[in-house]
Amino acid sequence: MKIEILAIGDELLSGNTLNTNATFLSRELKKMGLRVDRHLVLSDEESALKEGLKEVLERSDLVIATGGLGPTEDDRTKRVVAKLFHLELEYHQDLAEMLFQKFEKNKYKKEQAFIPKGALILTNEIGTAPGFILEKDNKILVLLPGVPYEMEKMFFSSLKSYIKKKFDIKMKVFEELVAICLKKEDEIEPILENLRKRDRKVNIGIYPSLSGIKVSFTVEENDEKSANKRIEPLKKELEKAFAPYIFSSEGILDLPEAIKNIFIQKGKTLTLAESCTGGAISSTLTVLPNTSGYLLGSIVSYSNELKKNILHVPESILKEFGAVSPETATYMVKGIFDLTSADYALSVTGIAGPGGGSIKKPVGTVCFALGERGKKIDAGKVSIPGDREFIIKYSVSFALSLLWVRISHNLTHFTP
Ligand code: ATP
Ligand code: MG
């Protein structure tokens, strides 16, 4: 069975609105064991819409479309679909009364009560545009409103059970994700190439992002046990190859959350000293509840004055090596250990740009230091390409990665 998700609206094509409806529907269908074959976005211009709808109905068995069901001039989905299926629009008195009562009586609400004849109506519990389903020649077209929360509500309250009843879902799609930090795609891919050869039926995908790389294992199976039997050996192999760098476990795929859990579990505390990130590492961590269980805080020592007066970075170090140097980063960590009771201290100092770079230290030069009380401080320099926003974001992610490999596997990054 081929499934396609269709998003309708010029605002999606123009880049004004992100197509989150398609993501939502794909994710929910996956949970039900259904794999979506294609996402398509169409303009709400009549001929483009007609062409597109024809096309999707030719190649797919189930099409779920969102958007353009409202009563405004640019909401053309309903009329185009009615024409395409050669159906008249039928006025539903009961639906109109309900809309008049719930909202107000006007021509727009009246318009919403016209539905293609023979369609199965899906009630909109929070908005005005009803959804509906048309079945013809073994094809199913579902029309849902564009507003995400109306669409989502409709999915859960009626569409999900309709799909469950309609399709005998024997084989389900099962997915496992592994999240890896500090490793590049090129380092992971060769291992995945081997794993793919071991079981062709398990689909292995690799998805890089700023906060690390996610590897997905998906397989179609009758039940979870059979799926696990296929996925687990491959997943274990990957975990063996990259053990210290893997921060996902039991559904947690988020580095800040993994860090919080391990710090709290080990009963250790952390303090940060941030220069170029301006508190961004701290704010990334404090978004999560119970961060106070391990994070003492962050000293945003943006200027040399604060580095000297609060963290006691010696003037001579700043003069000799500069504010952006592994040496300064190291003294920032020492400063934290003197000031606080933290078990771990992490510092970052860099040139986020656009100004401030030099030939020796171009924009994107960022230094990190990480120490565990009483042990040697691991410090070093990285070069981050990109603009100011990217450099800061990357620095946050990199700092958290350093923290993860250190606290989880006592691994240092810059020094042996
Ligand atoms: P309404 O009765 O509200 O007009 P509608 O079905 O006509 O419902 P649209 O007019 O197509 O919906 O979209 C309404 C709003 O919903 C859009 O302005 C946009 O903000 C949001 N929206 C529409 N489609 C999507 C989508 N695919 N992903 C995310 N948001 C969307
Ligand atoms: Mg609309």
- Alpha carbon of 6 to ligand 1 centroid (Å): 12
What is residue 323's predicted lDDT score, i.e. its pLDDT? 97
User: Is residue 75 in contact with ligand 1, taking CB distance under 6 Å?
Assistant: yes
What is residue 167's predicted lDDT score, i.e. its pLDDT? 85
- Alpha carbon of 326 to ligand 1 centroid (Å): 51
Ligand nearest to the CA of 127: 1
Question: Residue range 11-38: average pLDDT?
Answer: 95
Is it the case that residue 21 has pLDDT exceeding 90? yes
- Ligand 1 atom nearest the C-alpha of 41 is 27
Looking at the chain, the whole-number percentage of residues with pLDDT higher than 70 is 100
State the burial class of residue 310 (Cβ atoms within 10 Å of its Cβ: 0-12, 13-18, 19+). middle
Confidence of residue 11 (pLDDT cuts 50, 70, 90): very high
- Alpha carbon of 58 to ligand 1 centroid (Å): 25
| pLDDT digit string, tens, across residues 82-119 | 999 999 999 999 999 999 999 999 999 999 999 999 99
What is residue 12's predicted lDDT score, i.e. its pLDDT? 97
Is it the case that residue 190 has pLDDT exceeding 80? yes
Pair of tokens at residue 240: 């063996």
The sign of the torsion formed by the CA atoms of 384, 389, 394, 399 equals: positive
Average model confidence (pLDDT) across the chain: 95
| pLDDT digit string, tens, across residues 242-270 | 999 999 988 899 999 999 999 999 999 99
**CA separation for the pair 231, 391 (Å, rounded):** 36
If one residue of 17, 23, 72 were mutated to test the ligand 1 pocket, choosing by the most ligand atoms within 8 A of its CB, it would be 17
**CA separation for the pair 366, 332 (Å, rounded):** 14
Ligand nearest to the CA of 39: 1
**CA separation for the pair 323, 358 (Å, rounded):** 13
Question: Residue range 12-25: average pLDDT?
Answer: 97
**CA separation for the pair 102, 123 (Å, rounded):** 13
Q: Which residues pair with 214 in a beta bridge?
A: 179, 207
Pair of tokens at residue 44: 């709400």
State the burial class of residue 413 (Cβ atoms within 10 Å of its Cβ: 0-12, 13-18, 19+). middle
Question: Residue range 264-279: average pLDDT?
Answer: 98
- Alpha carbon of 109 to ligand 2 centroid (Å): 13
Q: What are phi and psi of 148, to 5 degrees?
A: -50, -45
| pLDDT digit string, tens, across residues 46-77 | 999 999 999 999 999 999 999 999 988 888 99
User: Is residue 11 in contact with ligand 1, taking CB distance under 6 Å?
Assistant: yes
| pLDDT digit string, tens, across residues 211-234 | 899 999 999 999 999 999 999 999
Ligand nearest to the CA of 111: 1
Q: Shortest CA distance to 120 belongs to which of 149, 80, 61, 161?
A: 161
Alpha helices in 199-294 (DSSP H): 224-241, 255-266, 280-286
Question: Residue range 184-209: average pLDDT?
Answer: 95
| pLDDT digit string, tens, across residues 344-391 | 999 999 999 999 999 999 999 999 999 999 999 999 999 999 999 999
Confidence of residue 31 (pLDDT cuts 50, 70, 90): confident
- Alpha carbon of 383 to ligand 2 centroid (Å): 47
- Alpha carbon of 139 to ligand 1 centroid (Å): 24
**CA separation for the pair 250, 164 (Å, rounded):** 28
Peptide bond just before 354 cis, omega within 30 deg: yes
Q: Where are the beta strands (DSSP E) in 73-186?
A: 89-91, 114-116, 120-122, 131-136, 139-144, 172-180
Backbone angle region of 168, left / alpha / beta, with phi > 0 → left and psi within -120 to 50 → alpha:
beta
User: Is residue 116 in contact with ligand 1, taking CB distance under 6 Å?
Assistant: no
Tell me the pTM: 0.80
| pLDDT digit string, tens, across residues 154-184 | 999 999 999 999 987 778 889 999 999 999 9
**CA separation for the pair 218, 175 (Å, rounded):** 4
- Alpha carbon of 145 to ligand 2 centroid (Å): 8
Alpha helices in 113-198 (DSSP H): 148-154, 160-166, 185-198
User: Is residue 68 in contact with ligand 1, taking CB distance under 6 Å?
Assistant: yes
If one residue of 81, 112, 147 were mutated to test the ligand 1 pocket, choosing by the most ligand atoms within 8 A of its CB, it would be 147
What is residue 74's predicted lDDT score, i.e. its pLDDT? 86
